[in-house]
Amino acid sequence: MGLTGGFKELRPAYGFDDVAIAPGSVTVNPELTDVHFSIGQFTFDFPVLAAALDASVNPFLAREMGKRGGLAVMNLEGLQCRHDDAEAAIQEVVAAAQEESAAVIQRLTAPPIKEELIGRRVREIKENGAICAVSCTPANTKKLAPIAVDAGCDIFVVQSTVTTARHLSRSVRGLIFQELIANIQVPVVVGNTVGFEPTRELLECGIAGVLVGVGPGAICTSREVLGIGVPQITATIECSAARDDYYRATGRYVPVITDGGMRNGGDVCKALVAGADAVMLGTAFARAEEAPAKGYAWGMSTGHAALPRGVRIKPGSDTTLDRLLFGPTSRTDGSENIVGAVQTCMGMVGAQNISELHDAELIVAPSIKTEGKIYQQAQ
Amino acid sequence: MGLTGGFKELRPAYGFDDVAIAPGSVTVNPELTDVHFSIGQFTFDFPVLAAALDASVNPFLAREMGKRGGLAVMNLEGLQCRHDDAEAAIQEVVAAAQEESAAVIQRLTAPPIKEELIGRRVREIKENGAICAVSCTPANTKKLAPIAVDAGCDIFVVQSTVTTARHLSRSVRGLIFQELIANIQVPVVVGNTVGFEPTRELLECGIAGVLVGVGPGAICTSREVLGIGVPQITATIECSAARDDYYRATGRYVPVITDGGMRNGGDVCKALVAGADAVMLGTAFARAEEAPAKGYAWGMSTGHAALPRGVRIKPGSDTTLDRLLFGPTSRTDGSENIVGAVQTCMGMVGAQNISELHDAELIVAPSIKTEGKIYQQAQ
Amino acid sequence: MGLTGGFKELRPAYGFDDVAIAPGSVTVNPELTDVHFSIGQFTFDFPVLAAALDASVNPFLAREMGKRGGLAVMNLEGLQCRHDDAEAAIQEVVAAAQEESAAVIQRLTAPPIKEELIGRRVREIKENGAICAVSCTPANTKKLAPIAVDAGCDIFVVQSTVTTARHLSRSVRGLIFQELIANIQVPVVVGNTVGFEPTRELLECGIAGVLVGVGPGAICTSREVLGIGVPQITATIECSAARDDYYRATGRYVPVITDGGMRNGGDVCKALVAGADAVMLGTAFARAEEAPAKGYAWGMSTGHAALPRGVRIKPGSDTTLDRLLFGPTSRTDGSENIVGAVQTCMGMVGAQNISELHDAELIVAPSIKTEGKIYQQAQ
Amino acid sequence: MGLTGGFKELRPAYGFDDVAIAPGSVTVNPELTDVHFSIGQFTFDFPVLAAALDASVNPFLAREMGKRGGLAVMNLEGLQCRHDDAEAAIQEVVAAAQEESAAVIQRLTAPPIKEELIGRRVREIKENGAICAVSCTPANTKKLAPIAVDAGCDIFVVQSTVTTARHLSRSVRGLIFQELIANIQVPVVVGNTVGFEPTRELLECGIAGVLVGVGPGAICTSREVLGIGVPQITATIECSAARDDYYRATGRYVPVITDGGMRNGGDVCKALVAGADAVMLGTAFARAEEAPAKGYAWGMSTGHAALPRGVRIKPGSDTTLDRLLFGPTSRTDGSENIVGAVQTCMGMVGAQNISELHDAELIVAPSIKTEGKIYQQAQ
């Protein structure tokens, strides 16, 4: 045995900036493309979900998403179900000085989750007929899921940094997804996960959707603190392969939702070509005028009592839900008209629906900025 | 099935900055090299075309290119065929404040294309015997191509971001290239395209030239907004392989023209070594004193009514057509004497014509700037 | 024979920034994880050692590490065994102007090593029962090791930039590790090394631990001056393979300790996943309030008389031994709670001990900073 | 046939920043290492040559190199053989304003080469017994080589950007290396070249040494203007393979000299490990107090009448020939004590001579600067 044999192998992984989509031999008029996607019995008009951040999703934004045929997920463990006047709590975070903001978020996240508020928020979301999705972590799921479902929630999301079908702990019985699904009778979406095997095992539990993404950003807390992180293109490709494998074995198609790290319409298109059925965006929705926090954003973990992660950022309130999703836009940076971008991309690669978009080609083509662009075409 | 099998595969792609040309075993005196290239029955003295941008090509510049044995393409859908006094319209764009410029371009692109102006511009280009090439998008080709050909245009260019032989749309019949070619009796150049199969299909339609390049720049609108883009070296290699395959099958040789992303003579040389028969430059020609827009440049899509892309830039008016193409130059950045650079490169790799230049070797050798160049040779 | 055959081959190597850890199919509650590690008969409660730098380890810090169940290594060739009042010497370095600091360190390193000080320092370290480890270079080992062992030192570390089992020199007999180990009767840890074969040969000598790392940093003196350096992930993978190979052959398990280049908890986790049983940190400990040099740090070679390397730096005194190792922390950059980060990482990859952590997956996923993070999730 | 077959292939190439040297299983005391190298019958004490730049080599510097057992090459086509008082001409370049410097160099390079000055410079170089090497381009070799040899020159260097054994030109007969070598009776060194085949063909001509390097720098004129350039590690590996292949076939060993792109001792060590028998440095020698141009440097082509390349730079006069070559040094950037660095490197990889150094291992380990070095070892 020498240097060339028997070592731990490292497989390559790719993120959004590493790849690009290649056109194919057919083009399609974008008007002909179909971008709907489904979770369980529910079908949505476009494949872009709003993530369960207090700064992005409150009942109002969830209703507005519903009006447009989309889906927003509300976090049961954030401010909404701890404060009667959640909007006042959000404004308190917004009003805090930057250096105080983490402490303010921690303080406002300290009060207990009120069961009656879960019911109230669910009913607020459903006021005008929107499909209601709420989320919590595995630790609170057994307690909160039945309350939310009783109140009328349509889709339940179980979400933590890394969620697997098999969790070892000292407690007598942790969360068993099969039991949860058998008990609550609404589609259960679970995440986040990466990798073929972990996803395949979650699918076997009977879940109705899977959220893909663990530490996807090049610079993110999980990567610096824990060394853990899988770039989203590779994560999406592998989880989608698990979805296809499960579908071939069972005939049940479970959507893969890429969650995190996408910065513009191009990244969303790449996630879909990599195999995602939909994407989940956080900060993008915080930028809409309809969002609760006036252009500020912070993460699910910023209010953690013992190990707060992330800080309040201010992406700015510079768009509307309509412009963000459907345009029209005068911007050329891909920050608006995400659905339009997906349809235009589908046209260029000749895909008439998201399933055909999965067949488009991805190439490894790093986007490195170069200097001295003397002759670059102005086309 | 596990993590190591059955995933979507990503093939690597290379751009100009990723590669370099390696010298061979023979050198040739640059004076002995032949750089002509042909489209249909027309032969040109050098393989560098001016792209169909309003800021680069007007009838005057096209005539000047013709005098030198070269080819410029004029855009039928820009300002030239919408305004009697097109030069005044161009100067209006030039005079606009930067923040107003996109709106001004949009406004000036709003008037309809006048059929009589097509004829007038074609005749202006041909005044002194220049070969005349004009371009439009597939949507307008059926209508505008016969008018241009009737007026005496020699080469017709059909160009959009991605053009394929098969386009699906709701309209009863889209553009069929075989029909167009059968009807208009002048060589038809089509683009842009990337990839072996799409190019092979276009060649089967009987086209006389193919423009290569979709979102080639590292940072370009197509890449950010749509995720779509193929680096130009890989795009050129694949399209050239299709050309060679088609030539072996039919005996008809159709030139491949790499369009976009080239910043200096080195990039042009690399495109030719990758397999291109010629290159098309936009901003480079906008920098010539002979160009219409006094050192400004903007793209074909900047005036788009619904989805404007790109902005007016100012590369500056810092060269002449002669210096740009043939030197002499005192610059060492490759921004002038492009044809001379091609011939010197051919000398160093021992190629006596462009076809032999296709046989030179390319290596993967990223050009990353390094710091602390203490000992770098001053040779 | 042509260009494609018979050339010197270059194998790829990976550093901390090139890789990330991928989660697995099982998760574990961090409280269930076991992070102890052993050198010879000695077992430690956590796998993070303090490196033999004057700025990081004095007898006080070594005792403090011992109290917490950890290990610090003291350098016999630094200031501690040359000055009766070593703390005064350290403060002289700290008080020096930056431009004078290298000269001051050189001057203070000039006095001879005093044998009685070796004994005194060893006894100081062991005052409260800490396990005592001291280090010197191979050239001084024959002379200093017996003195240190007689004084009660528990573990002896032989350390130079590159140490091999076979060293050729003009002196009649150099250091023979087999003889040293036979003579001194305490576990001998040797380094630094990289590569399977060199490590395997060192293990054959009977050593009790191996320090991994030669010029690991992207920019380090060894790399610029000598061209020598192996990125730490590859170095750790290869040395760990030698450890496993030796264990299979002999049944003796010798810990691999990755030494150098780690900047945060994420890097420590990656080293352990790559195969290390423990890591050794230098500057990190210099940042603790308990460290001798008030937030300054300098290297073993800075005081070299003929070829000084490295300069005094000031990482700052911004943590405590407890916060550095165990938290709690309010920082999200991975600079505190290293042991907690290791346990959280183990939880996410489903490893209950360091040996299981070796089975986690590493992927190649370069962490390149990107611009324009428009949509990045605030999760 | 599809996208996956039949395309032009691109082989990877590596430069200094892409690789690092890995230590081996044996170490050697640097004092035991032997670094001599030979060209024909001449043996030199160290493998570092001074390149034929006017700013680096005049007769005085060549004599100083000779005193130390080394070799400097003087350019016959620069200022030395065009001006009786060449030092005055050099000072005129040095005194010129930066923006005038290229024009001044052009003007001073315009006067014809004087035959009597060739003889005078050769005699000046040999005054104290130094071995004399002079260089010119292939075009002038037939005329100048006999004059230089008659005057006593010991080694003749034929050098251009790319030199091959087969050059096609309109002139009846170009330079035939076999004839030159048969006629002039001194060792002929030829360059620059890259690639196995071109080098192998040059060796067949009977040359006594080969200079390796075409456009090696990441950013250099050849690369930007012509697209041509091969990173030096790959170039050296391939040329060295040709040398070894030729040696196996003929028993004649011809040294490979890597020329250009090296910035510090680490790069020099890497070139030697890649297979070079020696290296040639330009700007490094211009930095010595003994150099003619007071810390300025410019290239062979800066004075070209039609296509000047490169500009006058000022690396500064910050070392001496002795410190540059042999130290001692207080710098940690590898800019001094190059020979000492080579010997220390040889010690760490266990090589007792340059030939054994060729057997050391190179790894692909890009040196990318990273941010946030919190824990980096201060060792």
Please indicate whether residue C53 or residue C221 has the higher confidence score (pLDDT): C53
Query: Which has more pLDDT, D164 or D172?
Result: D164
Q: Is B41 exposed, middle or buried (0-12, 13-18, 19+ CB in 10 A)?
A: exposed
Q: What b-and-e string marks burial along C5-20, b requiring 16 or more CB atoms within 10 Å of the CB?
A: eebbebeebbbbbbbb
With a CB cutoff of 8 Å and minimum separation 6, the contacts of D108 are: D79, D82, D83, D89, D92, D93, D303
More confident residue, D155 or D219: D155
A286 in contact with C at a CB cutoff of 8 Å?
yes
Interface check for C11 against chain A (CB to CB < 8 A): the answer is: yes
C295–chain D Cβ distance below 8 A for any pair: no
pLDDT digits (tens, 9 = 90+) for B171-186: 767 789 999 999 999 9
Residue D222 C-alpha, separation from nearest chain C C-alpha, in angstroms: 22
Is any Cβ of chain B less than 8 angstroms from the Cβ of D195?
A: yes
The pLDDT score that the predictor gives to residue D183 is 93
> A287-296 burial, b for 16+ CB within 10 Å, e for fewer?
bbebbbbebb
Alpha carbon C159 to its chain centroid, in Å, reads 10
**Chain C stretch 66-85, residues whose beta carbon is closer than 8 A to a beta carbon of chain D:** none
Burial A10-39 (b: 16+ CB within 10 A, else e): beebbbbbbbbbbbbbbbbebeebebebbb
* B353 interfacial to chain D (CB closer than 8 Å): no
- The yes-or-no verdict on residue B311 having pLDDT over 50 is yes
Q: Write out residues in chain A with pLDDT < 50, as ranges.
A: 1-5, 218-219, 369-379
Among candidate residues B81, B132, B136, B220, the one labeled active-site is B220
Give residue for tokens 């294309």: B113
Pairing relationship of beta strands D133-136 and D73-75 according to DSSP bridges: parallel
The answer for residues whose C-beta is within 8 angstroms of residue B354's C-beta and 6 or more apart is: B34, B35, B36, B37, B47, B272, B277
CB B156 within 8 A of CB A17: no
Return mean pLDDT, chain C. Answer: 90
Q: Please state the length of chain A.
A: 379
Predicted confidence (pLDDT) per residue in A253-292, tens digit: 999 999 999 999 999 999 999 999 999 999 999 999 999 9
pLDDT at residue B305, as a whole number: 63
- Residue B312 is predicted with a pLDDT of 86
CB contact (8 A) between residue D17 and residue B268: no
Pick from B146-150, B296-300, C82-86, C181-185: least confident: B296-300
* Chosen from D200, D370, D376 to mutate, greatest number of chain C CBs within 10 A: D376
Higher-scoring residue by pLDDT: C223, C163: C163
DSSP lists the bridge partners of residue C128 as none
- Judged by a CB distance cut-off of 8 A, whether residue A100 touches chain C is no
- Taking an 8 Å cut-off on Cβ atoms, the answer to whether B335 and A374 are in contact is yes
How many Å lie between the alpha carbon of A358 and the closest alpha carbon of chain B? 9
For C355, other C-beta atoms within 10 Å of its C-beta total 12
Asked if B334's CB is within 8 angstroms of A374's CB, the reply is yes
Judge whether residue D159 has pLDDT over 80: yes
> Which pLDDT tens digit goes with each residue over D281-306?
999 999 999 999 989 998 877 666 66
On chain C, the residues whose CB falls within 8 A of the CB of A281 are 375, 377
Q: What is the mean pLDDT of chain D?
A: 90
Q: Chain C: give the shortest CA distance to residue D156, in Å.
A: 29
Average pLDDT, chain B: 90
8 Å CB contact between A207 and A253: no
Share of chain C above pLDDT 70, in %: 91
Q: What pLDDT shows up at residue C103?
A: 86
Give pLDDT, residue D172.
60
Nearest to A187 by CA among A73, A281, A300, A57: A73
Tell me, what's the pLDDT at C114? 96
Give yes or no for C110 touching A (CB within 8 A). no
Residue to mutate among B94, B228, B338, with most A CBs inside 10 A, is B228
The verdict on D260 touching B (C-beta cutoff 8 Å) is yes
Residue in chain A lying closest to B367 (CA): A370
Distance to chain D for B289, nearest Cα, Å: 22
Identify whether C328 is preceded by a cis peptide bond (ω within 30 of 0): yes
Interface A–C counts its CB contacts (< 8 A) at 228
Question: Where does the pLDDT of residue B372 fall: very low under 50, low under 70, confident under 90, or very high at 90 and above?
Answer: very low
Residues with Cβ < 8 Å from A306, sequence gap 6 or more?
C328
pLDDT of residue A328: 85
D234 contacts in B (CB within 8 Å)?
A: 363, 365
Residue of C nearest to A338 (CA): C375
User: Average pLDDT for residues D108-116, to the nearest whole number?
Assistant: 95
pLDDT in tens, B257-275: 999 999 999 999 999 999 9
Contacts of A12 in chain C (CB under 8 A): 363-365
Tell me what pLDDT residue B304 has: 66
Euclidean distance between CA atoms A113 and A120, whole angstroms: 12
How far off is chain D from C13, nearest CA to CA, in Å? 5
Are A311 and C334 a contacting pair at CB < 8 A?
A: no
Pair B22, B361: CB distance under 8 Å: yes
Provide the shortest C-alpha distance from residue B196 to chain D (in Å): 6
CA pair distance C166, C174, nearest whole angstrom: 9
pLDDT, mean of residues D224-239: 93
The confidence band for D267, taking pLDDT boundaries of 50, 70 and 90, is very high
From chain A, pick out residues whose CB is under 8 angstroms from the CB of B103.
none
Task: List, in order of start, the domains of chain D with CATH numbers.
Answer: 16-364 (3.20.20.70)
Give the mean pLDDT of B122-133: 97
Mean pLDDT within D219-226:
72
Across the range B123-135, mean pLDDT stands at 97
User: Which residue is closest to B375 within chain D, CA to CA?
Assistant: D263
For residue A302, what are its two tokens? 């910023």
Question: pLDDT tens across C320-347, in order?
Answer: 999 999 988 877 788 999 999 999 999 9
Q: Which residues on A lie below 8 Å from B51 (Cβ)? A: 377, 379
A332:B313 CB<8 A:
no
Which of C81, C132, C136, C220 is flagged as catalytic? Answer: C220
Collapsed DSSP state (helix, strand, coil) of residue C281:
strand
Tokens 């005049």 -> residue: D58
Shortest CA gap B235–chain A (Å): 10
* Residues of D with catalytic function: 220
Q: Do D25 and C198 touch (CB under 8 A)?
A: yes
> Residue C369 pLDDT more than 50?
no
pLDDT-based confidence at residue B103 (cuts at 50, 70, 90): confident
- Interface predicted TM-score of the whole assembly (ipTM), two decimals: 0.90
Q: Is the Cβ of C258 closer than 8 Å to some Cβ of chain D?
A: no
User: What gap in Å lies between CA A232 and CA A363, rounded to an integer?
Assistant: 15
pLDDT at position C312? 86
Report whether D220 contacts D174 (CB < 8 A): no
- CB-CB neighbors (< 8 A) of C270 in chain A: 227
Query: Which residues of A, range 24-53, sit inside 8 Å of B by Cβ?
Result: 24-29, 31-32
Strand ranges, E, within chain A = 11-12, 19-22, 26-28, 37-39, 42-44, 48-50, 73-75, 133-136, 155-159, 166-168, 188-193, 209-212, 256-259, 278-281, 361-364
The answer, for C362 touching chain A at a CB cutoff of 8 Å, is: yes
* Local structure of residue B32 (DSSP, 8 states): G
Interface test with B, best of D228, D239, D364 (most B CBs within 10 A): D228
Establish if C298 touches chain D: CB-CB under 8 angstroms: yes
List pLDDT tens digits, range A56-108: 999 999 999 999 999 999 999 999 999 999 999 999 999 999 888 888 998 99
